[in-house]
Amino acid sequence: QRGWNVIIADNLTNRLLGIMSLTIGILTGLCTLFVTLLVDEIESKQGWLGVGFFIGFVIGMVLSGIFMGLLSSAVDSVIVCFAEAPQEFNETHPEMAQEMNQTWKDAWPDVVRGPVVVGLGGGLGVV
């Protein structure tokens, strides 16, 4: 059960960051569309409106994609440190590890953190 929670949290985080990146791209496209409308020198604005929106949208998506990629990597690193190497995580970031451990205890008071024994075909394995 614990492994599925990490996968779901990671998937939701990446979806949220993707939606934020798309929203930033659309808002940047709308801003460039507005600037295109304000330019007086263009005689036929019809053709340039779509071009202005598209250029702004692409610029917004690329820049926000870079920043959201950094955030996604940071979230993945924290999840891996918390799930795979809790002792090292506690040594390098004790305040964050304490906060995450307390949040885990509040969310799942019945689940004890530590080695989990699972059946692997014919034998047992420690995860």
Tens-place pLDDT, residues 69-113: 998 888 777 777 777 777 888 888 888 888 888 887 787 677 665
SS3 content of the chain, % helix, strand, coil (to 5): 75, 5, 15
- Give the pLDDT score at 116: 47
- Give the pLDDT score at 8: 65
Determine the Cα–Cα distance for residues 2 and 111; give it in Å rounded to an integer: 9
What number of CA atoms fall less than 13 Å from residue 1's CA on the CB side?
5
Res 60 pLDDT > 50: yes
The pTM (predicted TM-score) of the whole model is 0.62
Decide: helix, strand or coil at residue 93.
coil
Determine the Cα–Cα distance for residues 79 and 86; give it in Å rounded to an integer: 10
- From residue 52, how far is each of 43, 46, 47, 65, 78 by CA, in Å? 15, 10, 9, 20, 39
How does residue 43 score in pLDDT terms, banded at 50, 70 and 90? Answer: low
